[in-house]
């Protein structure tokens, strides 16, 4: 019988159990097809609670190490254990290449929305956040403290990569919350993800010759537009239940890949452990390959522990992208980039022509917010609040589950609903809006690609910005509109 060894008294038991089994899967002690003991049996043998075993097993399932097979229990999945990733050689420096605009088909959101001039009563926007639950009193006090600082601090020019105070705060926060250890000198602060994406393209152009950027399909369309506008060919990579298609990535000419491993947008899938290893191995096999990891909403996971970032391994080929838009407000236009040390060196020595785009008072406010502990307490409260809103939405949809297939419930701010009715996506949007409800078709996040077809009659329902009464009223109106 398989018995993992738990020896670290400083870690929670379920985390020790998760780590021990994950390590055995990667090392080959556990092989594909091996059956793990039942939760009760393992709990009895290790003299720990069943809940502890269940928490560890569920985390392993979410990260793709094991799977739950009906009537068979928990089985080890086939993993691709890539070779040890080598440290990159000194990157070659290149001049900017002539822009090349790759062909693509852009579908604007407006083209997918019905031409009905009704004002929606309930807007299930997947990008919304709850602004009513911000700790306003704490925010006002911190802002007063910032405005009370001496003028030589408050009005001091920000370094190109951001003020040291905020970069130090983010460095400590990432270590605590994501297990990502980095120096403040590896962090670049920018006014929103849009600016950060433009910045990293210029940085990569100085470090390597960017042949193209591979992106998941479906995808975050703003990133696609930015890369294309900067003259970078974009290769679309289809996404399966484990993550981006590694064979398609291998066939592409791109040497940069942009991924959302912890929570794929908009499908909500988690990149499996095997696919994560394959992506890291892909980057290791050529000196000019890099991974851009967008960890846009990792704070809001409702099942198991947050999935560790690819960057947590200390891999020198991963650029980590984070933002405060989902955790605070889209109006808080502050994002950050964590660079490998050799790219940070280029950044500090060859990109001082970029002025920092975030005001000093916003940077000092965010630094105080993080260092005071208020930010993490706010995240914990919002995680609980969003979980309850999700649960309320699922409960409201429960009477119609025979007509609706629901996915993507474990994290984020939206769920995906496939309607089992003879309606097209466009008809679903129009009927909903005629009844005062705005929903979002999944096809707006897909780009035209051979062999990739958006799921039919499928919409996104975002719940973060709505209260329970609005959620209930919206679902009731949708049931009437779609005759559920």
pLDDT in tens, the chain (484 residues): 677 777 666 677 888 888 889 888 888 888 888 999 988 888 888 888 887 888 888 888 888 889 888 778 899 998 764 444 333 333 333 333 333 333 333 333 333 333 333 456 899 999 889 999 999 999 999 999 998 988 888 888 889 999 999 999 999 999 999 989 999 999 999 999 999 999 999 999 999 999 999 999 998 888 988 999 999 999 999 999 899 999 999 999 999 999 999 989 899 888 999 999 999 999 999 999 999 999 988 889 888 777 888 987 777 999 999 999 889 988 888 999 999 999 999 999 999 889 899 999 999 999 999 999 999 999 999 999 999 999 999 999 999 999 999 999 998 999 999 999 888 999 999 999 999 999 999 998 998 888 888 999 999 999 999 999 999 999 999 999 999 8
pLDDT of the residue at 39: 87
What is the DSSP secondary-structure string of 193-260? Answer: HHHHHHHHHHHHHHHS----EEEEES--HHHHHHHHHTT--EEEEEEETTEE-HHHHHHS--SEEEE-
User: Which pTM does this prediction carry?
Assistant: 0.80
pLDDT of the residue at 8: 64
Mode of pairing for the β-strands spanning 414-419 and 404-407: antiparallel
pLDDT of the residue at 189: 97
Tokens of 72: 């068979």
Report how far Cα 460 is from the mean position of its chain's Cα atoms. Answer: 17
pLDDT of the residue at 119: 58
Report how far Cα 182 is from the mean position of its chain's Cα atoms. Answer: 19
* Per-residue pLDDT tens digits for 341-379: 999 999 999 998 898 999 999 999 999 999 999 999 999
Please state at what angle helix 374-397 crosses helix 468-481, rounded to 10 degrees. 30
- The CA distance from 151 to 155, in Å, is 5
For 137, phi and psi rounded to 5 degrees?
A: -60, -45
Tokens of 53: 């075993």
For 440, phi and psi rounded to 5 degrees?
A: -125, 125
pLDDT of the residue at 387: 96
The answer to whether 161 touches 187, Cβ cutoff 8 Å, is: yes
| 64: enclosing H helix or E strand | none
In the chain, what are the domains?
A: 13-76 (1.10.10.10), 113-128+387-481 (3.90.1150.10), 136-372 (3.40.640.10)
Beta-carbon contacts of 222 under 8 Å, excluding residues fewer than 6 positions away, are: 193, 194
The answer to whether 126 touches 245, Cβ cutoff 8 Å, is: no
């Amino acid at each position: 019988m398989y018995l993992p060894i738990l020896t670290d008294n400083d870690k929670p038991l379920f985390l020790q159990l998760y780590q021990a089994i994950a390590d055995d899967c990667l090392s080959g002690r556990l092989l594909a097809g091996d059956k793990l003991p039942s939760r009760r049996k393992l709990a009895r043998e290790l003299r720990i609670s069943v809940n502890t075993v269940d928490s560890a097993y569920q985390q392993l399932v979410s990260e793709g190490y094991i799977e739950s097979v009906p009537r068979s229990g928990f089985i080890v999945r086939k993993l691709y254990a890539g070779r040890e990733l080598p440290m990159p050689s000194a990157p070659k420096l290149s001049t900017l290449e002539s822009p090349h605009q790759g062909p693509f088909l852009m579908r604007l959101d407006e083209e997918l929305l019905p031409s009905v001039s009704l004002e929606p009563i309930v807007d299930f926007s997947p990008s919304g956040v709850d602004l009513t639950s911000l700790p306003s009193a704490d925010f006002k006090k911190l802002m007063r403290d910032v405005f009370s600082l001496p003028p030589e601090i408050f009005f001091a020019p920000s370094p190109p990569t951001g003020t040291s105070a905020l970069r130090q705060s983010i460095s400590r926060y990432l270590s605590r919350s994501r297990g990502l250890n980095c120096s403040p000198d590896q962090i670049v602060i920018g006014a929103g993800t849009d600016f950060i994406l433009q910045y990293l393209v210029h940085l990569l152009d100085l470090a390597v010759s960017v042949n193209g950027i591979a992106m998941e399909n479906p995808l975050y369309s703003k990133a696609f537009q930015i890369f294309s506008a900067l003259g970078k060919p974009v290769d679309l990579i289809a996404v399966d239940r484990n993550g981006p298609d590694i064979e398609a990535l291998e066939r592409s000419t791109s040497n940069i890949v942009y991924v959302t491993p912890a929570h794929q947008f908009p499908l909500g899938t988690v990149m499996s452990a095997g696919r994560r290893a394959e992506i890291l191995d892909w980057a290791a096999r050529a000196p000019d390959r890099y991974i851009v990891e967008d960890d846009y909403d990792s704070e809001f996971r409702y099942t198991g522990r947050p999935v560790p970032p690819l960057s947590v391994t200390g891999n020198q080929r991963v650029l980590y992208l984070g933002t405060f838009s989902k955790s605070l407000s889209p109006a808080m236009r502050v994002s950050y980039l964590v660079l490998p040390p050799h790219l940070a060196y280029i950044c500090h020595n060859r990109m001082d022509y970029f002025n920092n785009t975030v005001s000093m008072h916003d940077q000092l406010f965010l630094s105080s917010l993080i260092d005071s502990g208020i930010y993490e307490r706010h995240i914990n409260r919002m995680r609980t609040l969003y979980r309850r809103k999700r649960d309320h939405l699922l409960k409201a949809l429960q009477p119609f589950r025979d007509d609706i297939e629901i996915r993507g419930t474990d994290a984020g701010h939206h769920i995906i609903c496939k309607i089992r009715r003879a309606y097209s996506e466009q008809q679903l949007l129009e009927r909903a809006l005629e009844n005062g409800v705005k929903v979002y078709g999944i096809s707006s996040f897909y780009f035209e690609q051979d062999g990739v077809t958006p799921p039919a009659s499928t919409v996104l329902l975002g719940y973060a910005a709505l209260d329970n009464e609005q959620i209930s009223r919206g679902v009731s109106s949708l049931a009437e509109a779609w005759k559920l």
